[in-house]
Amino acid sequence: MADTTNTAHFNRARSAAENPVKRFFRATEIDTRLLGMVGAMLIIWIGFDFLSGGLFLTPRNLWNLSVQTASVAVMATGMVLVIVTRNIDLSVGSILGFVGMIMGVLQAELLPQVLGFNHPATWIITLLAGLSLGAAIGALHGMIIAFLNVPSFIVTLGGLLVWRGATWFVTSGRTVAPMDATFRLMGGGTEGSIGATASWIVGFLACLAIVASIINARKQRKRFGFPRRPVWAEYFLSGVGCALVLGAVAIVNSYPWPTNIARRYAEANGISWPEGGLFIAHGIAIPVLIAIVIGIVMTFIATRLRFGRYVFAIGGNPEAAELAGIKTRWVTVRIFALMGMLCAVAAAISTARLNAATNAQGELDELYTIAAAVIGGTSLAGGMGTIAGAMLGALVMQSLQSGMVLLGIDSPLQRIVVGVVLVTAVWLDTVYRARAK
Amino acid sequence: MSEQRTPLVEMKNISISFGGIHAVDNASVDLYPGEVVALLGHNGAGKSTLIKILSGAYRRDAGEILINGEPADIHNPRDAKKYGIETIYQTLAVADNVDAAANLYLGRELRTPWGTLDDVAMEAKAREVMGRLNPNFQRFKEPVKALSGGQRQSVAIARAILFNARILIMDEPTAALGPQETAQVGELIKQLKREGIGIFLISHDIHDVFDLADRVSVMKNGQVVGHARTEDVTKDEVLGMIIMGKVPPKAIPGPGAMQMA
């Protein structure tokens, strides 16, 4: 008891000496670094909107942006764990290509022979096969790294070449299309979105979850008499969280189906075509929903499970982790297997979106994935990084690219800009961290 | 007296070599409950290597380890912990980027019935243990990197005693500390000793050793020069053992003793 009162006194004494801004950040425990990233992204968004004459901040563009980000964002969540343990994975783009090609052949050529075309089980069989294959490839990389002591840079550089080559051999370079109708929903598009009502339901459930988790965390800390956040900070955080979620839902719900598709839908369902056109909202795209669920699951793994704790401990001090009795090698294998599985998810999203599996699918994605993780605050020195940061990093990268496309900037110049932004972002982060110390 | 009891730890004829160099050569040491045995010797004499065999960080090439008189199978740090052997390494071996509670429970996390980490319970226990060791310690939410040398040291010590260790290995526990913190560690060693824990103390500081240890074992070039009770020998005689391998009359010579020509 005496202890908690002491702490309270201590905290109060400290906060009285601080200015209101600092007190605000201490009370809400908001990560200022993440906030800075959100700020940078808003500047990029507003800048592009201004330059493109109001084309960027439209429901349509933001919805497309979310769909385009999904595949790299999924892989970036795994890349965080890889980089946190002081490894790197250069093979994710090639694994995406190879797994995507296998999934393409499976659903477009092999399964129809057995099950017939557009069988309802085709998509799930394909997806499960892809996930297993991705996990197996990742586990193979992980074992070579952990048990044969080959540096991950080399193993995955080899993987980059091997799996890209293997992709070609599957069909001798032929593009496989079209994909199964149900499978295609994972790629987004008009049909691959859940619609307005379901989006609102998802949004409200998310708000409930935010409030419940804040209440639960507070209860837990109260039970053991630890210092707690002030009540106003809890309300503030719940309010901001819910507002962001519902705002995002409102935006995707104000992007209507294109007129042609809506007209066809109306005809097929016997709805008379109204005067001003039929407004059917897209709602949240399925690939975005997949990416969000994966982000939540990966955050749970990284922060709430023993495996995640070990990942960060290994990144902080590999020797200490080993001496503490952690089976560091198996942790490495599991990280790479997980990374391979996430590549398979990304492969499903991108083949479904393209409605084809090609040779070049996922080329350069390894670099965008690594860049997303690094821009999102993952330290290449190991031990530091967040899933949310990496996903935000992916969104920043994609915003830059889409924005430049909107402005009609040539693709060589786009690459130059992305490269410069990457280096600048990491430099700014280094400066921030040096000052934070 | 002590001859009638079973030693807590007996390491018999231990050898290990790295690439043809005999880091430890036919070394034997023992430890009784409630006793502090200091291992002395130059850098590279083989003290740390010998002790890392006990803590499971290295695997011995030859020899035998007995715990309470029974042969013990120690292949890795997890095995050692099963026998109640806890180690505080010279390098502290803490994971810099996670907080104190996470470090205390590293490798032995408490979990909720759902299998998730029970951070709140771990923090509660960490606050209790750290409160006993270092009542001023309040920085439970910060990564260990942000702590001072003494605070990091108390985290490392807390981790070792948290799980009811019976055998504690302290490799240069005061190397990174100031005088006041060194005194604190000394107090702590005496307290643990009263609780019946056996402690292997590796140290360069001969004054520390004479303050805290009941016996000394001296190593040179991977071999044991000899053992002595601290009350039977002077500091100069022990220095003679360390530097020249010369064994004073009241000490028991080992295989590494200087050969009298």
Write phi, then psi, for B135 (nearest 5 degrees): -60, -20
> Which pLDDT value is given to residue A368?
92
Q: In this model, does residue B151 exceed pLDDT 60?
A: yes
> Which pLDDT value is given to residue B1?
43
Q: Which residues of B touch A221 (CB under 8 A)?
A: 120
Going by pLDDT thresholds of 50, 70 and 90, the confidence category of residue B206 is confident
**A325/B97 Cβ within 8 A:** no
A304 to chain B, any CB pair closer than 8 A? The answer is yes
**B106/A326 Cβ within 8 A:** yes
> Regarding predicted confidence, which is higher, B256 or B223?
B223
Q: Which of A7, A224, A324 sits opposite B124 (nearest CB)?
A: A224
Q: Which residues of A touch B109 (CB under 8 A)?
A: 306, 309
> Regarding predicted confidence, which is higher, B199 or B90?
B199
Return the residue of A nearest to B81 by Cα. A325
> Which pLDDT value is given to residue B54?
92
Best probe of the A interface among B120, B128, B132, by most A CBs < 10 A, is B120
Q: Which residues of A touch B124 (CB under 8 A)?
A: 224, 226
**B123/A313 Cβ within 8 A:** no
Q: Which of A305, A312, A323 sits opposite B98 (nearest CB)?
A: A312
A80 to chain B, any CB pair closer than 8 A? The answer is no
Nearest-CA distance from B132 to chain A in Å? 12
Residues of chain A with pLDDT under 70: 1-18, 436-437
Q: Tokens 């069988």 map to which residue?
A: A119
Q: Which residues of B touch A320 (CB under 8 A)?
A: 91-95, 106
Write phi, then psi, for B157 (nearest 5 degrees): -70, -40
Nearest-CA distance from B191 to chain A in Å? 23
Q: Which of B89, B98, B138 sits opposite A313 (nearest CB)?
A: B98
CA dist list (Å): A221 to A109, A215, A408: 56, 10, 53
CB atoms within 10 A of CB A111: 20
Write phi, then psi, for A85 (nearest 5 degrees): -85, 20
Scan residues 314-353 of A and list those with Cβ closer than 8 Å to B: 314-317, 319-326
**A312/B97 Cβ within 8 A:** yes
> Which pLDDT value is given to residue B260?
53
**B127/A306 Cβ within 8 A:** no
Q: What does DSSP say about strands B9-18 and B215-220: parallel, antiparallel, or unpaired? A: unpaired
> Which pLDDT value is given to residue A11?
47
**B94/A326 Cβ within 8 A:** no
User: Looking at beta carbons, which pairs linking B117-124 to residues 24 or more positions away fall under 8 Å?
Assistant: B117/A303, B117/A304, B117/A305, B117/A306, B117/A309, B120/A220, B120/A221, B120/A223, B120/A224, B120/A226, B121/A224, B123/A224, B123/A226, B124/A224, B124/A226
Instruction: In whole angstroms, give the CA distance from residue A217 to residue A214.
Output: 5
> Which pLDDT value is given to residue A7?
44
CA dist list (Å): B144 to A19, A258, A328, B151: 27, 55, 20, 9
B132 Cβ contact list (under 8 Å, min separation 6): none
**B124/A326 Cβ within 8 A:** no
Going by pLDDT thresholds of 50, 70 and 90, the confidence category of residue B155 is confident
Q: Which residues of B touch A326 (CB under 8 A)?
A: 106-107
**B89/A224 Cβ within 8 A:** no
ipTM: 0.79
CA dist list (Å): A54 to A51, A59, A107, A365, A401: 8, 11, 41, 29, 17
CA dihedral B3→B4→B5→B10, nearest 10 degrees, is: 40
Instruction: In whole angstroms, give the CA distance from residue B154 to residue B258.
Output: 39
Residues of B contacting chain A (CB within 8 angstroms): 55, 57, 76-78, 81, 87, 89, 91-98, 102, 106-109, 111, 115-117, 120-121, 123-124, 127, 131, 138, 143, 145
Q: What is the 3-state secondary structure (H, E, C) of chain A?
A: CHHHHHHHHHHHHHHHCCCHHHHHHHHHCCCHHHHHHHHHHHHHHHHHHHHCCCCCCCHHHHHHHHHHHHHHHHHHHHHHHHHHCCCCCCCHHHHHHHHHHHHHHHHHHHHHHHHCCCCCCHHHHHHHHHHHHHHHHHHHHHHHHHHCCCCHHHHHHHHHHHHHHHHHHHHCCCCECCCCCCHHHHHCCCCCECHHHHHHHHHHHHHHHHHHHHHHHHHHHHHCCCCCCCHHHHHHHHHHHHHHHHHHHHHHHCCECCHHHHHHHHHHCCCCCCCCCCCCECCCEHHHHHHHHHHHHHHHHHHHCHHHHHHHHHHHCHHHHHHCCCCHHHHHHHHHHHHHHHHHHHHHHHHHHHCCECCCCCCCHHHHHHHHHHHCCCCCCCCCCCHHHHHHHHHHHHHHHHHHHHCCCCHHHHHHHHHHHHHHHHHHHHHHHHHHC
Return the residue of A nearest to B106 by Cα. A324
**A304/B91 Cβ within 8 A:** no
A56 Cβ contact list (under 8 Å, min separation 6): A45, A48, A49, A402, A403, A406
Write phi, then psi, for A418 (nearest 5 degrees): -60, -45
pLDDT per position as a tens digit, A142-193: 999 999 999 999 999 999 999 999 999 999 999 998 999 999 999 988 888 9
